[in-house]
Structure 1
């Protein structure tokens, strides 16, 4: 009798589990291109590149219905170079995103893992480099993380449901240093409202010991040296105790055109607080105002045109100015495949974070030997 009951219960149990299981989706994106830079460390340069407008990636995401409006969810997202097959994000296998959490239809979603901060979540849609322009034309050095170059480890995140187009949320990252609760911690908050043609958003990020917590959280990152060498815009401030970012943006759709504007203020506070790291202007704080205006125009259902202008002003320790303009086009070959072409220019003046005369330094490109730098790119994207 017992054997009969067990035999009957086993298929019923698996039937229930199969019913509760939702789906697991494999997805990805290839972004490849050819890039010309007129001056990279004093020489013109041609490159075959991966990750121009979007980083090449593959990922798995899924959810399970737990009943009562509750779901379990996860995402694993790997970044890589389509040109070499090399892992992105400093050698992290799932360096783009890796998290698991619970979502409810009434209260929102809580996730834990490696995730984007609130700047990326709530104001990314106002920056040209997140919509049609390549990462090279992000705000200089992507110092405000407006284009999402940095992720946060050991993070707990809350994201609300939508209340008539209004969403909000926040993130907290545990530093993990015994006896020092605030060391290496990162926290952020943000909100966004989208209704009809209008979208507005704002966010705040606070990172303690940013050289290690914010810029140095990949497998290949150094635990003693500078991890902030990617751009002369901020490389001299690796010894800052705290990094603070405030962003705000707005966009409005007018027929086929969308107008957008974004402002950010980024500060590296108490430079010189972390020993044995670049500390130009030690004892003070380096601050940056950044403003961008852009327009996109859907000329045809398949052709999108874009133009942007960005101005970055440094103040506090050093005073540097960066002016940057870009134009581009994206043409859809299908719903999943498109080609793109972009060209941009940056002009620098003043004194940069290294204490030297500022030179042009487009994001993720070797700095120019002069105050000017031009970059052009043509490429192909395919999604699956």
Structure 2
């Protein structure tokens, strides 16, 4: 009898502890059929029919959890692996989607590991086409010159609480590649934002430093962005600047602007349009580049977890000095996304 009472007490204590913590398995499986053509990377290439993964969001699975430590303090973690739904192959190595642990409370949240940057969070909230892979923003900016790094390893991050709509976040990444001759490379990212009701506005900053022999190779990004939800439609947009240096000498700068509209046209049908313009002005004469892109898309919500979608993306690249065509990228995608 005594042993039974002890066993019951252990089970009760275990149940109480389990009630204060949780682990969730989640994921997305996304695949589409369509056509792609990329004469920017491969001049002369032809349009081809494809079955690919991640038309809207990259296919992934992950685990996340939290534990109530008492006194308003919580511990949490997130592990996320990307994969290709069309082939079953891993997309990257191990948990490259995210691998982090955090402590949160009234002071905010402190996190360690691999994660998205604060700059990326602001861009995502104001990106066209609901921040999906159909958005023309990132691909167009990369084709003009380059874009920011969205996730960083070896990161220490802090996210503040929200005060009357205002919040902020900062993250520093240490790449742990210091040598006896070179300092370690590093990334610094921050955002400040105001979100209240239908309005969101924010500023983002990110500097990516690569210490090279003879000087530093740096990329510095600044972003002003916002969104407003009118109910009948949501407008998003932003203006991004970038400066690039090699061996401490500036090689060029890049200005990009984008906007998008998201409108529910029926109870379970949404339409999207996004446009982006990006110009790279090189210090070297004649190397200026202009890229423009747009996407028109729609999704049909089948349930809380599943939707079907169709989208067309078009990106054009040209020499901004002569107007000479430097290729185009087109994608037509018809697919299904399921979240679990």
TM-score after normalising by structure 1:
0.77
* Alpha-carbon separation, structure 2, partners of 1:323 and 1:337: 31
Partner of 2:26: 27
Question: Does 2:135 align with 1:169?
Answer: no
Cα distance, 1:11–1:251 mapped onto 2, change above 3 Å? closer
- Equivalent of 1:249, from 211, 214, 225? 225
Superposed displacement of residue 293, structure 1: 1.5
Superposed displacement of residue 172, structure 1: 0.7
Superposed displacement of residue 337, structure 1: 0.6
Superposed displacement of residue 39, structure 1: 4.6
Partner of 1:305: helix, strand, or coil?
Answer: strand
* Alpha-carbon separation, structure 2, partners of 1:34 and 1:182: 46
Matches within 5 A, 1:99-178: 99-104=100-105, 106-131=106-131, 134-135=134-135, 138-142=138-142, 143-145=146-148, 150-178=150-178
Partner of 2:313: 344
Unaligned runs of 5+ in 2: none
| Aligned positions, number | 324
Partner of 2:120: helix, strand, or coil?
Answer: helix
* Alpha-carbon separation, structure 2, partners of 1:150 and 1:123: 10
Matches within 5 A, 1:209-224: 209=210
Superposed displacement of residue 323, structure 1: 1.4
Residues 129 and 274 in structure 2, CA contact (< 8 A), matched pair in contact too: no
Partner of 2:266: helix, strand, or coil?
Answer: coil
Superposed displacement of residue 54, structure 1: 0.7
Superposed displacement of residue 283, structure 1: 4.6
Superposed displacement of residue 7, structure 1: 7.6
Cα distance, 1:314–1:252 mapped onto 2, change above 3 Å? same
Superposed CA deviations along residues 116-137 of structure 1, whole A, max 9, x for unmatched, are: 1111122311111543561565
Question: Does 2:251 align with 1:285?
Answer: yes
Bigger drift between 291-300 and 343-352 goes to 343-352
Superposed CA deviations along residues 26-80 of structure 1, whole A, max 9, x for unmatched, are: 0000110013124542222221110122110001000000000000000001101
Partner of 1:138: helix, strand, or coil?
Answer: helix
- Equivalent of 2:59, from 30, 38, 56? 56
Partner of 2:294: 325
Partner of 1:299: helix, strand, or coil?
Answer: strand
Q: CA RMSD in A?
A: 2.9
Structure with bigger strand share is 2
Unaligned runs of 5+ in 1: 212-238, 274-281, 360-370
Partner of 2:119: helix, strand, or coil?
Answer: helix
* Alpha-carbon separation, structure 1, partners of 2:208 and 2:133: 27
* Alpha-carbon separation, structure 2, partners of 1:322 and 1:78: 32
Superposed displacement of residue 268, structure 1: 2.0
* Alpha-carbon separation, structure 1, partners of 2:11 and 2:30: 45
